Amino acid sequence: MKKTVLLIITLFVLTIMQAQNTLPVYLDDSKPIEQRIEDALSRMTLEEKVALVHAQSKFSSAGVQRLGIPENWMTDGPHGIRAEVFWDEWDQAGWTNDSCMAFPALTCLAATWNPEMAALYGKSIGEEARYRNKNVLLGPGVNIYRTPLNGRNFEYMGEDPYLASRMVVPYIQGVQKNGVAACVKHFALNNQEKDRHTVNVTVDDRTLYEIYLPAFKAAVTEGKAWAIMGSYNRYKGQWACQNEYLLNDILRGEWGFDGAVVSDWGGVNNTEQAIYHGLDMEFGSWTNGLSEGKSNAYDSYYLADPFLDLLRSGKVNPEEVDKKVRNILRLVFRTTMDRNRPFGSFATPEHGLAARQIAEEGIVLLKNTDNLLPIRLETTKKIAVIGENAIKMMTIGGGSSSLKAKYEISPLDGIKNKAGKRADVVYVRGYVGEETAEQDGLKSAQNLTETRSPEALLAEAIDVAKVADVVIFIGGLNKHDGQDCEGADREELGLPYGQDQLISALAKVNKNLVVVILSGNAVAMPWVNEVPAIVETWYLGSEAGNALANVLTGDVNPSGKLPFTFPVQLSDVGAHSLGDYPGKDYEETYHEGLFVGYRWNDKNKIKPLFPFGHGLSYTQFAYGKAAISAKTMPANGQLIVTVPVKNAGNKAGKEIVQLYIGDEKSSLVRPVKELKSFRKIDLAPGEEKNVEFTVSVDDLKFFDDTKHEWRAEPGKFTVYVGASSADMRSTVDFELK
């Protein structure tokens, strides 16, 4: 009540002041933000400043009520807006109006290879965050896919820094148009969940700059992200949330970042380093609330009373807290104190349509022998759907991205709805995983209890498959601990719960078998040559079943392509081949260096299960010969590469044309080729388009860690144009003068 009365009085006084044209500068949004920041800073007490730099609850930090400066409220993303939890607990607060739209996982977004989909995603989730009055969305994530065992890969955008860079920028811009800060995470080198709080990563500067930093740099310099989240791991012996080289030297020094650096929850470990090494806001340092630490845990955070005591004693210069407060005020003025901030919208039909469109563009058709897909409902009378993932909810679980979704259409329901009365759809479970996912008091109402033996379930599945016209097996991973889930890595590349044996058994009794994999990671497929059709469908969110059914039946022509390589076995991955994952005694060296994903395959001539950039269509695309505008490039010039692409089939479709560049002679070891551009084009049957790419000197550069600069060497380069990293359709050469 006292707070409400004080707020009313404050608003009344401000109204009078505005009428008399005596508003403080910091409240006058006609003034430049930097001037407003300094004015607000000059009016704050030392105690008020320190209160701004650490949490006051699970997901909020203090404002300055006396001055009308609002609190900051964070929400987990990046796939939807987290349900409300209690002030100081992880458990659900029990709201009835916080059921969000669940958007596809970021692996699916990356698989669209479509920046327009990233912009739509950012716009939609930004509207949802704004409606719930959150001013910081904790996402997106752009850590590079180094190993298929990383439990959190499903939240990231694949193995290639260029693809991740092109997809993250429009996402950020879409979010921030709503007056909500995108907090890009996890900066940096958070490439595994195992030992994530303790592992110290050793990586050379060249690999750091060429592989692990470009997406973050694009987020800052192009996307103009207003916030960055540090990661849990250590680098150069310092935790990333308080890392002088990452935060001061690179993020702020080299890239000019002027936003707020937010710790991951519990990622701060030392007061002095947190003061001097670039962190602005500390969250979650006692994430069990008041059960750990002193009676008021928030005042005992590293940047709370310990920081205040150092300031009061004169051991720390007040400018150190002022630096942090400036960045936080800049965040506030860009979000909650922007009077033109839109109101947002929440869990609307428009957002459902956006979620389905992104899901449909991200689904990848991996294999389609004899054109088994699409399923022709006019001639198919009986469809057998087999597999637990056909019915299991996937929006709950997985860690901080767990969602309380307004609805979730299961794959089985999507297929049934699509089939209608045209085909009989029969479902059997086939295998059993964990009963249900539950997290922070949020759980599914599903009852997945099963008393029958695996043998009985297998026999039932075989009997149903024998008499079906088409069998759709829907399996893969799930969001339980030890699979696609924050906090732990996978134990193996293979499918759990005996799915491999089940798939092989189904293939023996019905040649019309479609295998649908739900996952955020690559999986082994020992049965790959036994089945005619394979679809990778990721975690698709609220509209999962509808999107999958539309692709399986041909109402949508699949156009997604893999954002990471599917290896045959773990030894085909550099991080595992060289034996350094997950580190020894919490020390891990990235011995493979630059050679992540397809770069490793090219270097070692390893044939993957499915290559980076691979994805089929229900039509065929014919590539003509690439042409280049000149055979030499001036030192600061550019060239134009053009390739004709034709839809040679009888169905409209989208193709992702990919351009890679290889340096034929370099003073340093370089990958055989690297992705430097791509275009997603839409072609009607028989239509042909000339796809044009601009190649600049920047596309030829490598990072010289001896000089700490990007440079290109004169010499011969090859441009590869193709449909995947392993499917080159045309090459052209040129020379850099």
- What are the catalytic residues? 264
CA distance 347 to 101: 5
CA distance 231 to 267: 7
Beta bridge partners of 141: 185
**CA dihedral of 303, 309, 314, 315, whole degrees rounded to 10:** -60
Helix, strand, coil shares, percent, the chain, to 5 = 30, 20, 45
Beta bridge partners of 6: none
CA-wise closest residue to 648 among 691, 683, 690, 692: 683
Structure tokens at 717: 């380069």
Per-residue DSSP letters for 638-664? EEEEEEEEEE-SSS-EEEEEEEEEEES
Is residue 602 within 8 A of residue 704, CB to CB? The reply is no
State phi, psi for 251 to the nearest 5 degrees.
-60, -50
Structure tokens at 438: 């539950």
Secondary structure class of 566 (helix, strand, coil): strand
Beta bridge partners of 617: none
**How many Å is the Cα radius of gyration of the chain?**
26
State phi, psi for 607 to the nearest 5 degrees.
-85, 120
Secondary structure class of 352 (helix, strand, coil): helix
* 732: enclosing H helix or E strand: strand 727-736
Is residue 106 within 8 A of residue 155, CB to CB? The reply is yes
State phi, psi for 242 to the nearest 5 degrees.
-145, 50
Structure tokens at 666: 């370099």
Beta bridge partners of 471: 384, 513
State phi, psi for 498 to the nearest 5 degrees.
70, 25
- Please report, in angstroms and rounded to a whole number, the separation of the first and last CA atoms in the chain: 73
CA distance 714 to 717: 9
Structure tokens at 647: 């839809």
The residue assigned the tokens 């919208």 is 345
CA-wise closest residue to 593 among 574, 612, 567: 574
Helices (H) and strands (E) in the chain, counts: 18, 29
Is residue 104 within 8 A of residue 424, CB to CB? The reply is no
Per-residue DSSP letters for 489-533? --S-SSPSTTHHHHHHHHHHH-S-EEEEEE-SS----TTTTT-SE
